[in-house]
Amino acid sequence: MNSSLERYTERVEQYASRFPRFPRFVDVTMVLALIGCAFFGTQLSLPGENRPDTGKSLEILLGLSCFVLLKYRTHTHTVVVVVAGVTIAAIARGYLLTPMLLAPLLAAMYWLAVLCDRRTVRLYALVATVALLTVNLFSDGMRDLSPVLTVIGPVFWMALPLVGGSLARLRRDYLEAVKSRAEHAERTREEEARLRVTEERMRIARELHDVVAHHLALANAQAGTAAHLSRSNPEQSRKILDDLAGTTSSALRELKATLGLLRQDDRPKGEGLEPAPGLARLPELIDSYRSAGLEVVVHQEGVRRPLTPGVDLTAYRIVQEALTNVAKHAPERATHVGFTYADSRLLITVSNDGPATATATATATATAGNGASGGFGLRGMRERAQSIGGDLCAGPRPEGGFEVTTALPLQPSAAVEGESA
């Protein structure tokens, strides 16, 4: 029965949403039905009892009170007071208290329970029920009935609309809460989707910056060195030009792998794409810079530990970007790359032995990398380190030159690892 009532209510709400005048039609129909119930209630009496001789005035007043119900949405309290007053007056004049006579009051109490708060409903229901029982106990129409029946019947009838209205209000509140949660979930999904898109754009931007900046800086250094040696050492110049071809080829491969992430459709994951680089390719990276004339010294402390893919990629990109900055700003000085494996962290240090002029240049680069002048090198390295739970420091050395130091966790959490991959 409850499910049938819910289906009926949903159907009425659907019609109301489709036809704006449908609620008014339902209200008018309800009022006409209540007028019929009230009129029929005035014709009832106990066996052997005559109907009270009040003329037609009270019956007309009962009918008019039903029309007041048309304003139950905007003047709920007033409707209850008016209908209850007319109904109590009819019972006081001797009409038999029956559900038919109480129909307008029951409808008013139902809408009071639906539209008003519980405290107001209790107050109005208590006052109306007490007044109704008091008048009914002293009414001529109920003098032959026992006081128990005189009390139980009205209380039961008054309780029905209150219970039904409370259930309808609970259902309405539940539907509103469900709708509110659905809207909040929709907004949350949209915000989460925008956040994921932004994070993915930043990740791809970092990859493109690392690939383009590294290979262009390296190609520029190799081309400059080859041009410088073209007359004095043609053989070395041709070797550097061969390395330059390998640098551009590597740049194209990494660009293809990075841009391929944007074109993945129905292919199996990773098919046709080059694996992400890691520290295993560090010798190749160091050799490419040495071929461009940059002196790079690598040293390691501690026992080498296996790295997760996210940490491996981050370490490689940070070293790559640091060497790229050295090649652009202090290529004539020696560069030291150090790896220190501790219990839970990998410490990476990239420093060069540049003089004061190189230090000034590096300082300007660091400022630009932090966003003051539009550079993204150091900022990208710092974002990479922070994305897997690490940190990065960069700045001039007291003895001259520039140093980049980063500490990366050897075993980042699964959530962080997934974001950085």
DSSP bridge pairs for 396: 402
Q: How far apart are CA 86 and CA 80, in angstroms?
A: 10
CB 204 within 8 A of CB 261: yes
Calpha distance 142→333 (Å, rounded): 114
Q: Kindly report, residue by residue over 221-254, the tens digit of the pLDDT.
A: 777 777 777 777 777 777 777 777 776 776 676 6
Residue 90's CB is within 10 A of a number of other CB atoms, namely: 27
pLDDT of residue 324: 81
Burial of residue 250 (number of CB atoms within 10 Å: 0-12, 13-18, 19+): buried
| DSSP letters spanning 8-52 | HHHHHHHHHHH-TTHHHHHHHHHHHHHHHHHHHHHT---TT-PPP
| Global confidence as pTM | 0.47
- Residue 112 to residue 418: CA distance in whole angstroms: 56
- Given a cut of 70, the residues of the chain with pLDDT beneath it are 1-22, 47-55, 140-149, 207, 209-215, 247, 250-251, 253-276, 331-332, 354-376, 412-421
- Exposed e or buried b for every residue in 270-282, given b needs 16+ CB within 10 A? eeebeebbbbeeb
Whether residue 326 contacts residue 294, with contact meaning beta carbons closer than 8 Å, is answered with yes
Give which of 399, 407, 329 is closest to 362, Cα–Cα.
329
Give the residues across from 394 on adjacent strands. 404
Q: In the prediction, which pLDDT does 262 show?
A: 59
Write a three-state SS string for 337-369.
EEEEECCCEEEEEEEECCCHHHHHHHHHHHHHH
d(CA 159, CA 182): 35
In the structure encoding, which two tokens stand for residue 205, read together? 């931007």
pLDDT at 126: 92
Find how far residue 44's CA is from the centre of its chain.
Answer: 62
Q: Give the span between the Cα atoms of 5 and 312, in whole angstroms.
A: 63
What pLDDT sits at residue 19?
59
What are the pLDDT digits (tens) for 296-317?
889 998 888 888 888 888 888 8
